[in-house]
Amino acid sequence: MTEPARVQRGLEEVVALESRICFIDGKLGRLIYRGYDIRDLAAKATFEEVAHLLWYGRLPNVRELADLKGRLGDLRRLPDPFLRTIEALPADASPMDVLRTAVSALALYEPAETKPGATAIAGAERLTAALPSILGTFHRRRRGLPALRPRPELSQAAYVLYAILDRDASELEERALDVALILHADHELNASTFAARVTASTLSDLYSSVTSAIGALKGPLHGGANERAIELAEQIGTPDRADAIVKEKLARHERIMGFGHRVYKVEDPRATILREWSRKIGEAKGDLHYYEVLERVKEIVHQEKGLYPNLDLYSGSVYTPIGIPHDLFTPLFAVSRVSGWTAHILEEYEDLRLIRPTAQYIGPTDLAWTPIANRT
Ligand code: ACO
Protein backbone atom coordinates (compact mmCIF):
# COMPACT_ATOMS: atom_id res chain seq x y z
CA MET A 1 0.00 0.00 0.00
CA THR A 2 1.26 3.47 -0.86
CA GLU A 3 2.10 5.92 1.93
CA PRO A 4 -1.03 8.04 2.69
CA ALA A 5 -0.68 11.65 1.53
CA ARG A 6 -0.71 14.32 4.24
CA VAL A 7 -4.17 15.91 4.31
CA GLN A 8 -4.17 19.71 4.52
CA ARG A 9 -7.46 20.17 6.35
CA GLY A 10 -9.34 23.14 4.96
CA LEU A 11 -6.68 23.24 2.18
CA GLU A 12 -4.67 25.40 4.57
CA GLU A 13 -1.50 26.75 2.90
CA VAL A 14 -2.21 24.74 -0.27
CA VAL A 15 -1.23 26.76 -3.34
CA ALA A 16 -4.03 25.82 -5.73
CA LEU A 17 -3.37 28.06 -8.74
CA GLU A 18 -1.47 31.05 -10.13
CA SER A 19 -3.22 34.41 -10.22
CA ARG A 20 -2.37 37.97 -11.21
CA ILE A 21 -5.30 39.55 -9.40
CA CYS A 22 -4.62 39.75 -5.68
CA PHE A 23 -1.73 39.24 -3.28
CA ILE A 24 -1.90 38.92 0.50
CA ASP A 25 1.17 39.06 2.71
CA GLY A 26 -0.26 37.54 5.89
CA LYS A 27 2.88 38.21 7.94
CA LEU A 28 3.27 41.86 7.01
CA GLY A 29 -0.46 42.56 6.79
CA ARG A 30 -0.38 43.72 3.19
CA LEU A 31 -3.11 43.41 0.58
CA ILE A 32 -2.43 44.20 -3.07
CA TYR A 33 -4.90 44.38 -5.97
CA ARG A 34 -3.08 44.00 -9.29
CA GLY A 35 0.05 45.63 -7.88
CA TYR A 36 -1.63 48.45 -5.90
CA ASP A 37 -1.60 48.56 -2.11
CA ILE A 38 -5.09 48.52 -0.58
CA ARG A 39 -4.15 51.55 1.56
CA ASP A 40 -3.55 53.64 -1.57
CA LEU A 41 -6.70 52.37 -3.23
CA ALA A 42 -8.83 53.04 -0.15
CA ALA A 43 -7.39 56.55 0.16
CA LYS A 44 -7.49 57.57 -3.51
CA ALA A 45 -9.61 55.32 -5.74
CA THR A 46 -13.32 54.81 -6.29
CA PHE A 47 -15.06 51.43 -6.44
CA GLU A 48 -15.55 51.82 -10.20
CA GLU A 49 -11.80 52.37 -10.72
CA VAL A 50 -11.06 49.29 -8.63
CA ALA A 51 -13.57 47.17 -10.57
CA HIS A 52 -11.90 48.30 -13.81
CA LEU A 53 -8.52 47.43 -12.32
CA LEU A 54 -9.68 43.94 -11.34
CA TRP A 55 -11.35 43.13 -14.69
CA TYR A 56 -9.04 44.83 -17.16
CA GLY A 57 -5.79 44.52 -15.20
CA ARG A 58 -5.06 48.27 -15.08
CA LEU A 59 -6.51 51.51 -13.75
CA PRO A 60 -8.82 53.30 -16.21
CA ASN A 61 -8.02 56.65 -17.82
CA VAL A 62 -10.58 59.48 -17.67
CA ARG A 63 -12.54 58.30 -20.73
CA GLU A 64 -12.49 54.63 -19.74
CA LEU A 65 -13.77 55.45 -16.26
CA ALA A 66 -16.57 57.64 -17.62
CA ASP A 67 -17.52 54.88 -20.08
CA LEU A 68 -17.54 52.23 -17.35
CA LYS A 69 -19.67 54.41 -15.07
CA GLY A 70 -22.05 55.04 -17.97
CA ARG A 71 -22.38 51.34 -18.69
CA LEU A 72 -22.89 50.41 -15.02
CA GLY A 73 -25.53 53.14 -14.75
CA ASP A 74 -27.41 51.87 -17.83
CA LEU A 75 -27.22 48.26 -16.66
CA ARG A 76 -29.05 49.06 -13.41
CA ARG A 77 -32.38 48.69 -15.19
CA LEU A 78 -33.34 44.99 -15.01
CA PRO A 79 -35.90 43.11 -17.13
CA ASP A 80 -39.51 43.60 -15.90
CA PRO A 81 -40.39 39.88 -15.67
CA PHE A 82 -37.23 39.36 -13.60
CA LEU A 83 -38.18 42.22 -11.24
CA ARG A 84 -41.61 40.63 -10.80
CA THR A 85 -39.83 37.39 -9.77
CA ILE A 86 -37.96 39.27 -7.02
CA GLU A 87 -41.15 40.97 -5.91
CA ALA A 88 -42.87 37.59 -5.65
CA LEU A 89 -40.28 36.27 -3.15
CA PRO A 90 -41.37 36.07 0.52
CA ALA A 91 -40.90 39.48 2.17
CA ASP A 92 -39.40 37.79 5.24
CA ALA A 93 -36.76 35.89 3.22
CA SER A 94 -33.11 36.43 4.10
CA PRO A 95 -31.65 39.01 1.66
CA MET A 96 -28.65 36.71 1.11
CA ASP A 97 -31.01 33.93 -0.02
CA VAL A 98 -32.79 36.43 -2.25
CA LEU A 99 -29.50 37.50 -3.82
CA ARG A 100 -28.45 33.90 -4.49
CA THR A 101 -31.83 33.01 -5.99
CA ALA A 102 -32.00 36.24 -8.02
CA VAL A 103 -28.54 35.85 -9.58
CA SER A 104 -29.48 32.34 -10.61
CA ALA A 105 -32.81 33.61 -12.04
CA LEU A 106 -31.13 36.52 -13.87
CA ALA A 107 -29.16 33.96 -15.88
CA LEU A 108 -32.44 33.05 -17.58
CA TYR A 109 -32.59 36.51 -19.16
CA GLU A 110 -28.95 37.11 -20.07
CA PRO A 111 -26.27 35.38 -22.15
CA ALA A 112 -24.39 32.65 -20.25
CA GLU A 113 -20.71 33.56 -20.66
CA THR A 114 -18.16 30.77 -20.51
CA LYS A 115 -15.31 32.27 -22.51
CA PRO A 116 -12.61 34.78 -21.61
CA GLY A 117 -12.62 38.17 -23.34
CA ALA A 118 -14.95 41.08 -24.00
CA THR A 119 -18.28 39.26 -23.70
CA ALA A 120 -17.33 37.81 -20.33
CA ILE A 121 -16.23 41.24 -19.06
CA ALA A 122 -19.62 42.55 -20.24
CA GLY A 123 -21.21 39.81 -18.11
CA ALA A 124 -19.09 40.88 -15.12
CA GLU A 125 -20.30 44.47 -15.58
CA ARG A 126 -23.94 43.34 -15.90
CA LEU A 127 -23.76 41.36 -12.66
CA THR A 128 -21.97 44.14 -10.78
CA ALA A 129 -24.62 46.63 -11.89
CA ALA A 130 -27.46 44.19 -11.16
CA LEU A 131 -26.71 43.28 -7.54
CA PRO A 132 -27.58 46.69 -6.00
CA SER A 133 -30.78 46.80 -8.08
CA ILE A 134 -31.77 43.32 -6.89
CA LEU A 135 -31.11 44.17 -3.25
CA GLY A 136 -32.79 47.57 -3.54
CA THR A 137 -35.88 46.11 -5.23
CA PHE A 138 -36.30 43.44 -2.57
CA HIS A 139 -35.52 45.69 0.40
CA ARG A 140 -37.82 48.48 -0.75
CA ARG A 141 -40.73 46.15 -1.31
CA ARG A 142 -40.36 44.52 2.13
CA ARG A 143 -40.25 47.99 3.72
CA GLY A 144 -43.14 49.34 1.61
CA LEU A 145 -40.87 51.99 0.04
CA PRO A 146 -41.51 53.41 -3.47
CA ALA A 147 -40.18 51.32 -6.38
CA LEU A 148 -36.48 51.67 -7.14
CA ARG A 149 -35.43 54.14 -9.85
CA PRO A 150 -32.20 53.06 -11.62
CA ARG A 151 -30.61 56.58 -11.27
CA PRO A 152 -27.71 56.11 -13.74
CA GLU A 153 -26.15 59.43 -12.69
CA LEU A 154 -25.14 58.08 -9.26
CA SER A 155 -21.87 56.36 -8.37
CA GLN A 156 -22.18 52.71 -7.34
CA ALA A 157 -21.83 53.67 -3.64
CA ALA A 158 -24.42 56.47 -3.86
CA TYR A 159 -26.82 54.23 -5.79
CA VAL A 160 -26.53 51.43 -3.21
CA LEU A 161 -27.27 53.90 -0.41
CA TYR A 162 -30.17 55.51 -2.24
CA ALA A 163 -31.61 52.03 -3.02
CA ILE A 164 -31.47 51.03 0.66
CA LEU A 165 -32.16 54.29 2.47
CA ASP A 166 -34.56 55.94 0.01
CA ARG A 167 -32.65 59.20 0.30
CA ASP A 168 -29.53 60.75 -1.18
CA ALA A 169 -26.43 59.96 0.85
CA SER A 170 -24.22 62.72 2.27
CA GLU A 171 -20.72 63.03 0.80
CA LEU A 172 -19.23 61.41 3.89
CA GLU A 173 -21.68 58.47 3.79
CA GLU A 174 -21.04 57.94 0.08
CA ARG A 175 -17.27 57.95 0.60
CA ALA A 176 -17.55 55.61 3.61
CA LEU A 177 -19.47 53.08 1.53
CA ASP A 178 -17.16 53.59 -1.44
CA VAL A 179 -14.18 52.71 0.78
CA ALA A 180 -16.03 49.70 2.20
CA LEU A 181 -16.78 48.50 -1.34
CA ILE A 182 -13.10 48.90 -2.29
CA LEU A 183 -11.96 46.95 0.79
CA HIS A 184 -14.37 44.08 0.09
CA ALA A 185 -13.73 43.86 -3.66
CA ASP A 186 -11.24 41.01 -3.69
CA HIS A 187 -9.23 38.78 -1.38
CA GLU A 188 -7.31 36.13 -3.29
CA LEU A 189 -8.59 32.56 -2.86
CA ASN A 190 -11.07 33.12 -0.04
CA ALA A 191 -13.82 30.48 0.25
CA SER A 192 -16.38 32.21 -1.98
CA THR A 193 -13.87 33.07 -4.72
CA PHE A 194 -12.60 29.50 -4.61
CA ALA A 195 -16.21 28.28 -4.94
CA ALA A 196 -16.65 30.57 -7.95
CA ARG A 197 -13.44 29.31 -9.56
CA VAL A 198 -14.29 25.66 -8.93
CA THR A 199 -17.62 26.14 -10.72
CA ALA A 200 -16.03 28.12 -13.57
CA SER A 201 -13.33 25.46 -13.93
CA THR A 202 -15.98 22.98 -15.10
CA LEU A 203 -16.67 25.46 -17.96
CA SER A 204 -19.92 26.40 -16.30
CA ASP A 205 -21.18 29.95 -16.89
CA LEU A 206 -20.56 33.22 -15.08
CA TYR A 207 -23.97 33.27 -13.36
CA SER A 208 -23.66 29.72 -12.01
CA SER A 209 -20.18 30.54 -10.72
CA VAL A 210 -21.38 33.69 -8.93
CA THR A 211 -24.37 31.78 -7.51
CA SER A 212 -21.91 29.26 -5.99
CA ALA A 213 -19.88 32.13 -4.56
CA ILE A 214 -22.89 33.77 -2.91
CA GLY A 215 -23.76 30.47 -1.23
CA ALA A 216 -20.22 30.23 0.18
CA LEU A 217 -20.12 33.86 1.30
CA LYS A 218 -23.31 33.49 3.31
CA GLY A 219 -21.74 31.30 6.03
CA PRO A 220 -20.87 32.90 9.39
CA LEU A 221 -17.23 31.80 9.12
CA HIS A 222 -16.93 33.95 5.97
CA GLY A 223 -19.09 36.96 4.98
CA GLY A 224 -21.81 36.20 7.51
CA ALA A 225 -19.45 37.19 10.36
CA ASN A 226 -20.17 40.93 9.93
CA GLU A 227 -23.80 40.58 11.03
CA ARG A 228 -22.78 38.52 14.08
CA ALA A 229 -20.08 41.08 15.03
CA ILE A 230 -22.55 43.97 15.23
CA GLU A 231 -25.01 41.80 17.17
CA LEU A 232 -22.26 41.23 19.73
CA ALA A 233 -21.50 44.98 19.90
CA GLU A 234 -25.20 45.62 20.51
CA GLN A 235 -25.43 42.90 23.14
CA ILE A 236 -22.46 44.48 24.94
CA GLY A 237 -23.92 47.98 24.65
CA THR A 238 -21.24 49.93 26.57
CA PRO A 239 -17.45 49.39 26.77
CA ASP A 240 -17.53 48.63 30.51
CA ARG A 241 -19.68 45.52 29.86
CA ALA A 242 -17.30 44.11 27.23
CA ASP A 243 -14.90 42.38 29.63
CA ALA A 244 -17.46 40.12 31.28
CA ILE A 245 -19.38 39.23 28.09
CA VAL A 246 -16.36 38.53 25.89
CA LYS A 247 -14.50 36.56 28.55
CA GLU A 248 -17.58 34.46 29.26
CA LYS A 249 -17.92 33.64 25.55
CA LEU A 250 -14.26 32.70 25.32
CA ALA A 251 -14.59 30.53 28.42
CA ARG A 252 -17.42 28.69 26.65
CA HIS A 253 -15.06 28.27 23.63
CA GLU A 254 -17.30 30.42 21.46
CA ARG A 255 -15.78 32.21 18.50
CA ILE A 256 -15.83 35.97 18.56
CA MET A 257 -16.94 36.97 15.09
CA GLY A 258 -14.74 39.50 13.32
CA PHE A 259 -11.51 38.06 14.78
CA GLY A 260 -8.91 35.70 13.39
CA HIS A 261 -8.01 34.93 9.82
CA ARG A 262 -6.67 32.00 7.89
CA VAL A 263 -3.99 34.08 6.13
CA TYR A 264 -3.30 37.18 8.27
CA LYS A 265 -1.09 36.58 11.28
CA VAL A 266 -1.20 40.30 12.10
CA GLU A 267 -4.07 42.76 11.80
CA ASP A 268 -6.03 42.60 8.56
CA PRO A 269 -5.13 45.90 6.83
CA ARG A 270 -8.76 46.30 5.76
CA ALA A 271 -9.78 46.26 9.43
CA THR A 272 -7.29 49.04 10.19
CA ILE A 273 -8.81 51.23 7.47
CA LEU A 274 -12.43 50.44 8.31
CA ARG A 275 -11.84 51.08 12.03
CA GLU A 276 -10.86 54.63 11.12
CA TRP A 277 -14.09 54.96 9.10
CA SER A 278 -16.06 53.58 12.04
CA ARG A 279 -14.64 56.45 14.12
CA LYS A 280 -15.26 59.07 11.40
CA ILE A 281 -18.88 58.03 10.85
CA GLY A 282 -19.45 57.77 14.61
CA GLU A 283 -18.11 61.32 15.10
CA ALA A 284 -20.19 62.68 12.23
CA LYS A 285 -23.36 61.08 13.63
CA GLY A 286 -22.49 62.09 17.22
CA ASP A 287 -22.50 58.46 18.37
CA LEU A 288 -19.18 56.74 18.97
CA HIS A 289 -20.54 53.88 21.03
CA TYR A 290 -20.03 51.13 18.39
CA TYR A 291 -16.47 52.33 17.85
CA GLU A 292 -15.76 52.45 21.58
CA VAL A 293 -17.30 49.04 22.31
CA LEU A 294 -15.33 47.42 19.48
CA GLU A 295 -12.11 49.09 20.67
CA ARG A 296 -12.58 47.41 24.03
CA VAL A 297 -13.52 44.05 22.48
CA LYS A 298 -10.40 44.27 20.32
CA GLU A 299 -8.19 44.77 23.41
CA ILE A 300 -9.77 41.89 25.32
CA VAL A 301 -9.67 39.37 22.46
CA HIS A 302 -6.06 40.23 21.75
CA GLN A 303 -5.10 39.96 25.39
CA GLU A 304 -7.00 36.66 25.91
CA LYS A 305 -6.41 34.88 22.59
CA GLY A 306 -3.72 36.87 20.73
CA LEU A 307 -6.18 37.30 17.83
CA TYR A 308 -6.49 40.39 15.64
CA PRO A 309 -9.62 41.89 14.08
CA ASN A 310 -10.57 41.13 10.50
CA LEU A 311 -12.61 43.28 8.12
CA ASP A 312 -15.92 41.88 9.35
CA LEU A 313 -15.49 43.38 12.81
CA TYR A 314 -15.93 46.94 11.60
CA SER A 315 -18.25 46.96 8.58
CA GLY A 316 -21.39 46.97 10.74
CA SER A 317 -20.11 49.87 12.83
CA VAL A 318 -19.83 51.91 9.61
CA TYR A 319 -23.13 50.73 8.10
CA THR A 320 -25.40 50.87 11.16
CA PRO A 321 -25.02 54.61 11.94
CA ILE A 322 -25.77 55.32 8.27
CA GLY A 323 -29.07 53.43 8.67
CA ILE A 324 -28.29 50.18 6.82
CA PRO A 325 -30.11 47.21 8.42
CA HIS A 326 -28.02 44.32 9.73
CA ASP A 327 -29.33 41.71 7.33
CA LEU A 328 -27.97 43.73 4.40
CA PHE A 329 -24.34 43.67 5.61
CA THR A 330 -23.43 40.33 4.03
CA PRO A 331 -25.36 41.16 0.82
CA LEU A 332 -23.34 44.40 0.66
CA PHE A 333 -20.19 42.29 0.88
CA ALA A 334 -21.49 40.45 -2.22
CA VAL A 335 -22.35 43.75 -3.98
CA SER A 336 -18.64 44.56 -3.81
CA ARG A 337 -17.04 41.09 -4.03
CA VAL A 338 -18.90 40.31 -7.26
CA SER A 339 -16.24 42.44 -8.96
CA GLY A 340 -13.49 40.17 -7.59
CA TRP A 341 -15.44 36.94 -8.16
CA THR A 342 -15.99 37.82 -11.80
CA ALA A 343 -12.34 38.87 -12.27
CA HIS A 344 -11.30 35.44 -10.95
CA ILE A 345 -13.86 33.63 -13.12
CA LEU A 346 -12.49 35.46 -16.18
CA GLU A 347 -8.96 34.47 -15.18
CA GLU A 348 -10.13 30.86 -14.76
CA TYR A 349 -11.60 30.86 -18.28
CA GLU A 350 -8.28 32.17 -19.64
CA ASP A 351 -6.21 29.40 -18.11
CA LEU A 352 -8.74 26.66 -17.61
CA ARG A 353 -7.89 23.54 -15.67
CA LEU A 354 -10.66 21.56 -13.97
CA ILE A 355 -10.25 21.99 -10.20
CA ARG A 356 -10.63 18.52 -8.80
CA PRO A 357 -8.53 17.59 -5.75
CA THR A 358 -8.52 14.15 -4.18
CA ALA A 359 -9.52 12.87 -0.74
CA GLN A 360 -7.67 10.57 1.61
CA TYR A 361 -10.15 7.70 1.92
CA ILE A 362 -10.40 6.52 5.53
CA GLY A 363 -13.40 4.17 5.25
CA PRO A 364 -13.56 0.39 4.78
CA THR A 365 -13.00 -1.25 1.37
CA ASP A 366 -13.84 -4.97 1.54
CA LEU A 367 -17.25 -5.26 3.14
CA ALA A 368 -19.35 -8.28 2.16
CA TRP A 369 -22.68 -7.48 0.45
CA THR A 370 -25.70 -8.10 2.76
CA PRO A 371 -29.09 -8.76 1.14
CA ILE A 372 -31.69 -6.21 2.35
CA ALA A 373 -33.73 -8.87 4.18
CA ASN A 374 -30.71 -9.70 6.36
CA ARG A 375 -29.82 -6.13 7.33
CA THR A 376 -30.56 -5.02 10.90
N1 ACO B 1 -12.73 33.63 18.30
C2 ACO B 1 -12.19 32.78 19.21
N3 ACO B 1 -11.23 31.89 18.91
C4 ACO B 1 -10.81 31.86 17.65
C5 ACO B 1 -11.30 32.71 16.66
C6 ACO B 1 -12.30 33.61 17.02
N7 ACO B 1 -12.82 34.46 16.15
N8 ACO B 1 -10.68 32.46 15.49
C9 ACO B 1 -9.80 31.48 15.74
N10 ACO B 1 -9.89 31.11 17.04
C11 ACO B 1 -9.09 30.11 17.70
C12 ACO B 1 -9.68 28.72 17.44
O13 ACO B 1 -10.61 28.34 18.39
C14 ACO B 1 -8.42 27.88 17.50
O15 ACO B 1 -8.07 27.71 18.85
P16 ACO B 1 -7.56 26.30 19.37
O17 ACO B 1 -6.29 26.03 18.57
O18 ACO B 1 -7.34 26.53 20.81
O19 ACO B 1 -8.66 25.34 19.04
C20 ACO B 1 -7.36 28.79 16.88
O21 ACO B 1 -7.80 30.11 17.12
C22 ACO B 1 -7.16 28.55 15.39
O23 ACO B 1 -8.43 28.64 14.76
P24 ACO B 1 -8.79 27.92 13.40
O25 ACO B 1 -10.27 27.77 13.29
O26 ACO B 1 -7.97 26.69 13.21
O27 ACO B 1 -8.26 28.96 12.37
P28 ACO B 1 -8.74 29.04 10.87
O29 ACO B 1 -7.61 29.57 10.11
O30 ACO B 1 -9.33 27.76 10.40
O31 ACO B 1 -9.94 30.07 11.00
C32 ACO B 1 -11.46 31.76 10.75
C33 ACO B 1 -10.07 31.26 10.39
C34 ACO B 1 -12.53 30.76 10.25
C35 ACO B 1 -11.69 33.11 10.09
C36 ACO B 1 -11.57 31.88 12.29
O37 ACO B 1 -10.61 32.80 12.77
C38 ACO B 1 -12.97 32.28 12.75
O39 ACO B 1 -13.84 31.43 12.90
N40 ACO B 1 -13.22 33.63 12.94
C41 ACO B 1 -14.52 34.10 13.27
C42 ACO B 1 -15.36 34.26 12.00
C43 ACO B 1 -14.92 35.45 11.18
O44 ACO B 1 -14.64 36.51 11.69
N45 ACO B 1 -14.93 35.26 9.87
C46 ACO B 1 -14.55 36.31 8.93
C47 ACO B 1 -13.27 35.94 8.22
S48 ACO B 1 -12.70 37.29 7.24
C49 ACO B 1 -13.78 37.41 5.98
O50 ACO B 1 -14.47 36.50 5.59
C51 ACO B 1 -13.88 38.75 5.36
Concatenated DSSP letters of 47-64: HHHHHHHHHHSS---HHH
> Closest Cα to atom 31, ligand 1: which residue?
262
Residue % of the chain over a pLDDT of 90 = 92
pLDDT for the residue 4: 66
> Closest Cα to atom 8, ligand 1: which residue?
260
* Catalytic site residue from 222, 289, 302, 326: 222
> Closest Cα to atom 50, ligand 1: which residue?
222
| Residue 303 confidence (pLDDT) above 90 | yes
Sign of CA dihedral 136, 142, 145, 146: positive
d(CA 244, CA 297): 10
Confirm whether 187 is a catalytic residue.
no
Name 37's bridge partners. 32
Instruction: Give 224 or 17, the one with higher predicted confidence.
Output: 17
Name 204's bridge partners. none
Residue 46, Ramachandran bin (φ over 0: left; ψ between -120 and 50: alpha; else beta) = beta
| Residue 1 confidence (pLDDT) above 60 | no
Task: Report residue 300 CA to chain centroid gap.
Answer: 27
| Residue 10 confidence (pLDDT) above 60 | yes
Q: Would you call 153 helix, strand, or coil by DSSP?
A: coil
Instruction: Give 96 or 116, the one with higher predicted confidence.
Output: 96
Tallying the residues shown for the chain, one arrives at 376
Residue 13, Ramachandran bin (φ over 0: left; ψ between -120 and 50: alpha; else beta) = left
Distance 255 CA to ligand 1 centre (A): 7
Q: Would you call 31 helix, strand, or coil by DSSP?
A: strand
| Residue 11 confidence (pLDDT) above 60 | yes
Q: Would you call 355 helix, strand, or coil by DSSP?
A: coil
- Closest ligand 1 atom number to CA of residue 310: 48
Least confident of 61-75, 118-132, 185-199: 118-132
Residues 6+ apart with CB under 8 A from 153: 73
Q: Is 306 in the pocket of ligand 1 (CB under 6 A)?
A: no
| Residue 175 confidence (pLDDT) above 90 | yes
Say what the pTM is. 0.95
Distance 267 CA to ligand 1 centre (A): 13
d(CA 343, CA 37): 18
pLDDT for the residue 110: 84
- Closest ligand 1 atom number to CA of residue 184: 51
Strands of the chain (E only): list them. 22-25, 30-33, 36-37
Least confident of 113-127, 176-190, 299-313: 113-127
Q: Is 334 in the pocket of ligand 1 (CB under 6 A)?
A: no
* Catalytic site residue from 178, 186, 268, 312: 312
Q: Would you call 33 helix, strand, or coil by DSSP?
A: strand
Question: What pLDDT, in 10s, does the model give residues 353-366?
Answer: 999 999 999 999 99
| Residue 3 confidence (pLDDT) above 80 | no
pLDDT band at 216 (very low <50, low <70, confident <90, very high): very high
Confirm whether 312 is a catalytic residue.
yes
